[in-house]
Amino acid sequence: MLKVGIVGGTGYTGVELLRLLALHPEVELGMITSRSEAGTRVSEMFPNLRGRVDIAFTEPAPEALKSNDLVFFATPNGTAMRLVPELLEAGVKVVDLAADFRLRDPLLWEQWYGLPHACPELLQEAVYGLPELHRERIREARLVANPGCYPTAVSLGFLPLIESGLVAPGAPLIASCASGVSGAGRKAAVPALMGECGESFKAYGVAGHRHLPEIRQVLGGVAGAEPDLTFVPHLLPMVRGIHATLYARCPPGSDLQALYEQRYAQEAFVDVMPAGALPETRSVRGVNQCRLAVHRPQGGDTVVVLSVIDNLVKGAAGQAVQNMNLMCGWAEDLGFDSVALLP
């Protein structure tokens, strides 16, 4: 059994990670930390885990964390980078669900996250944990940077077009994306109140969002040149889900449906839907799945790709478990045996 620790388990990503790990046949949950809730039983805070997780939150003591084989960080940005070097030195593998190791350039990280990076020497070693792109590197990694939720939906949607060369390097791309309110985290904030976001729809981060350089880095690494990407996120009045509507210019005549089906034919967690389909966020609620549909409206040169994920699963905790499976040499889909919730 793999002994696993979780740092920062009181947020939505943390409880989702607990839910998935509680069902994993090869994992023993060694500890889960929270400074504010130390001593509180997990099932008291999250009653859905009664009978599944029978431990209490503890202080995040580095020596105790070293007793684990692998540690997940489900913490605010800027936390993992202060503890990870010591864990790696002790032989503990790490999956960071925050943004501390996603960007390779420490100056770019400081620009977008507002503080100097504590261990810039690890940024080049950290493997960006999008399995559909970096599977073999993840297998050998000791430090994985779990992708953001928007970058997961956007990257999986654009990858076939960029890899095939149908979209030229540097060509304009547009990503219009919408997320449920859980993407903002489990904290008291006026914009997340039902009376503020319910029955409403708005854009945010139009001038610049932290996931923009991450998406550019992923797509630029494939294309060989950073894309001319316009990324606009929106807040949806629902709890879970991301819907990404992606636009690109592509010469007519290409069989885009075949392109997408072939690219993802062997991917357990990417479902290319039939031609003309309109994927819904509810179809991936609670599962580690990205559903895609590709369209060419009126047969023109504009391609529209629709991409949906659950922001807490394929966009966070589920992808982290998928990465853990790869790092441990297990079947990639081990522990994932559930169906999306409907209605």
pLDDT tens for 144-161 read: 999 999 999 999 999 999
pLDDT in tens, 27-41: 999 999 998 889 999
Looking at residues 320-336, what average pLDDT do you find?
97
Q: Would residue 57 count as lying in a domain?
A: yes
Same domain, yes or no: 217 and 288? yes
The residue annotated as part of the active site, out of 119, 149, 197, 290, is 149
d(C-alpha 321, C-alpha 335), whole Å: 8
Q: Is residue 238 included in any domain, yes or no?
A: yes
Count of structural domains within the chain: 2
Residue 332 lies in a domain: no
CA separation for the pair 181, 193 (Å, rounded): 9
What tokens were used for 210? 């932290």
| Contacts of 160 by beta carbon, 8 Å cutoff, 6+ apart | 256, 259, 260, 263, 264
Query: Does some domain include residue 133?
Result: no
Query: Which token pair is 337?
Result: 């045996």
Domain boundary among 84, 109, 125: 125
* CATH number of the domain residue 192 falls in: 3.30.360.10
Tell me, yes or no, whether 214 lies in a domain.
yes
pLDDT in tens, 232-251: 999 999 999 999 999 999 98
| 115 and 166 in a common domain | no
Query: Strands across the sheet with 127-128, in order?
Result: 57-58, 27-33, 2-7, 70-73, 93-96, 143-145, 127-128
- Dihedral angle at the C-alpha atoms of 54, 56, 61, 63, nearest 10 degrees? -30
What's the pLDDT tens digit per position in 123-144? 999 999 999 999 999 999 999 9
In DSSP notation, 222-253 reads HHSS--EEEEEEEE-SSSS-EEEEEEEE--TT
Residues 115, 8 within the same domain: yes
What whole-number distance in Å separates Cα of residue 185 and Cα of residue 175? 22
Q: Is 149 a catalytic residue?
A: yes
Kindly state whether residues 101 and 176 are assigned to the same domain.
Answer: no
**∠ at Cα 298 (297, 302), nearest 5°?**
50
Query: 178-216: buried (b, 16+ CB within 10 Å) or exposed (e) per residue?
Result: bbbbbbeeeeeeeebeeeebeeeeeeeeeeebbbbbbbb
164, pLDDT greater than 90 = yes
Cis peptide before 251 (omega within 30 of 0): no
Do 155 and 192 lie in one domain? The reply is: yes
Task: Indicate whether 282 and 177 sit together in one domain.
Answer: yes
* Exposure string over 3-34, b if 16+ CB within 10 A, otherwise e: ebbbbbbbbbbbbbbbbbbbebeebebbbbbb
Task: Look at residue 254 and tell me if it is in a domain.
Answer: yes
At 51-106, the pLDDT tens digits run 999 999 999 888 999 999 999 999 999 999 999 999 999 999 999 999 999 999 99
Q: Are 39 and 57 in contact (CB under 8 A)?
A: yes
Q: 207 with 307, same domain?
A: yes
78 plus 172 within the same structural domain:
no
CATH number at residue 52: 3.40.50.720
Residue 237 is part of which domain span? Answer: 150-311
Q: Does one domain contain both 48 and 159?
A: no
Residue 212 in tokens: 């923009």
182 assigned to some structural domain: yes
Q: Is residue 325 domain-resident?
A: no
The per-residue pLDDT of the chain, averaged, comes to 95
Same domain for 29 and 62:
yes
pTM for the full model? 0.96
Burial class (CB in 10 A: 0-12, 13-18, 19+), 96: buried
pLDDT(188) > 80? no
User: What pLDDT sits at residue 244?
Assistant: 98
- The residue from 125, 160, 185 where one domain ends is 125
CB 45 within 8 A of CB 37: yes
Per the CB < 8 A criterion, the answer to whether 311 and 180 are in contact is yes
Percent above pLDDT 70 for the chain = 100
Q: Same domain for 230 and 186? A: yes
Q: Are residues 116 and 157 in the same domain?
A: no
Q: How far apart are CA 318 and CA 320, in angstroms?
A: 5
Q: CA torsion sign, 158 to 269 to 272 to 307?
A: negative
